[in-house]
Copies of this chain bind each other. A is one copy, B any other.
Amino acid sequence: MKKYLSVVYLGPGKVGSEVLRILNELKLKIKIVGIARSGTKTEEIEEWIRIAGRELLVVDTTASSKTIDWLNLALAQGGYVVSSNKKPYSASQQEYEKIMEYTPHVYYETTVGAGLPVISTLKELIKSGDKIKRIRGCFSGTLGFVFSQLEKGVNFGEVIREAKNKGYTEPDPRDDLSGLDVARKALILYRLIGGSQELAKIKVEKLYPEKLAKETVPEFLRLIDEYDSAMRERMERAKEKHQTIRYVAEITPTMCQVGVVEVPTVSDLGSLRGPDNIIIIETERYSERPMVIKGPGAGVLVTAGGVVGDIIKIMEKI
């Protein structure tokens, strides 16, 4: 007879609603203690956590950096944490290490690649004695779309406006083009394989000229065409060598960087299409031929599915 898990849910947005719907459908032994919205008082959330005792799970599907204290509070009293929120794991190295003192109680599979088994696979390889030599990947569906369109010959500025109009980008497209979201994911994987680093110190290539950083969004969208020729030249230079360009995160045990790289057209990175994410894992055991995992790395359904997957792993443990 398994125990009931008391859940404090942070961030009942689209992913949160779908997670709660699935949990209800699966009839898991779960009791929702509280659902924190943006207006919920800190004292109230802390109270929910405290009364839940040790059979506690805090689920964080926000995009906020303010949840970290609640996660720590829950972990310190013996509870569990499931996050799709990248912020706590890409916060300062010190804050990261504080959370990871409770590693077996921390589940954050969906912070990289959403429902794709990225973190669990890396963890299992390491635990089983393998050594990670290199990870490469495309971790942004938005930038995947952008580079697919560039490859077709569409101009950079036009692609950005198309992506923005289709709702593929953040309200300010520079949030995607800054590479910061990819850098957060790269940092999460770098720390997972033993690296120690601060987000601000990661080498990240921005996909817009610095002088457009302070413009308003409409002004930015008008002026970004200035970048067309530079991007077209990079793509053409690559094509001359039967290559293409991709926005790639590269992680080794001693290095973590994010930016545009040339890759062979006929390769796992080069053949990636549209919004798919990909991760290519090279290890001591997977040396001649890597392990490759690919698929949609964002979206409400696959993210919610991954969050529920983490919750079920916890329920099987307790």
**With A and B bound together, what is the CA distance between A17 and B271 in angstroms?**
38
Per-residue CB proximity of A94-123 to B under 8 Å, as 1/0?
Answer: 000000000010000000000111001100
The 3 closest A-B pairs by CB, nearest first: A291-B295, A128-B308, A292-B294
CA distance A125 to B308 in the complex (A): 9
> Given contacts A291-B294, A293-B293, A294-B294, are A127 and B309 in contact (CB under 8 A)?
yes
> Given the complex, which residues of B lie within 8 Å of A125, measured CB to CB?
305, 309
Q: Is the CB of A289 within 8 A of B285?
A: no
A316 to B293, CA, bound (A): 25
Most buried by B among A26, A130, A291, A313: A291
**Residues from chain B with Cβ under 8 Å of A312 in the complex:** 124, 127-128
Q: Does A209 reach chain B (CB closer than 8 Å)?
A: no
> Which residues of chain B are within 8 angstroms of A286 by Cβ–Cβ distance?
115, 295-296, 302
Within 8 Å CB of A293, what residues of B? 117, 291-294
- Residues A292 and B295 in contact, CB atoms below 8 Å apart: yes
Chain A 259-318 residues near chain B, CB threshold 8 A:
266, 268, 271, 274-276, 284-286, 288-296, 301-302, 305-306, 308-309, 312-313, 316-317
Q: Contacts A121-B117, A266-B271, A317-B317 given; indicate if A128 touches B305 (C-beta within 8 A).
A: yes
- Contact partner of A309 among B25, B124, B290, CB < 8 A? B124
> What copy number does this chain have within its complex?
2
User: With A115-B285, A294-B292, A296-B289 known to touch, is A129 a contact of B301 (CB < 8 Å)?
Assistant: no
Question: Shortest distance in angstroms between A272's beta carbon and chain B's nearest beta carbon?
Answer: 11
A22 at interface, CB cutoff 8 A: yes
Q: Cβ of A276: which chain B residues have Cβ within 8 Å of it?
A: 289
What number of A residues sit within 8 Å (CB to CB) of B? 43
Q: Is the CB of B285 within 8 A of A305?
A: yes
Q: How far is the CA of A14 from the CA of B152 in the complex (A)?
A: 49
- Interface pair A129/B25, CB less than 8 Å apart: yes
Residue with the highest number of chain B CB atoms closer than 10 Å, among A128, A130, A294 = A128
A164 and B294 alpha carbons, distance in the complex (Å): 32
A305 engages B129 (CB within 8 Å): yes
Residues on B with beta carbons closer than 8 Å to the beta carbon of A288: 296
**Contact partner, A128, options B120, B275, B309, Cβ 8 Å:** B309
Q: Given A128-B305, A312-B124, do A274 and B289 touch, yes or no (CB 8 Å)?
A: yes
User: In the assembled complex, which residues on chain B have CB atoms less than 8 Å from the CB atom of A115?
Assistant: 285-286, 291
Q: CB within 8 A of A117: which of B104, B117, B313?
A: B117
Contacts of A301 in B (CB 8 A): 284-285
- Complex Cα gap A284–B309 (Å): 15
Chain B residues whose C-beta falls within 8 Å of the C-beta of A285 in the assembled complex: 115, 301-302, 305
Known: A117-B120, A121-B117, A286-B302. A22 touches B129 (CB 8 A): yes
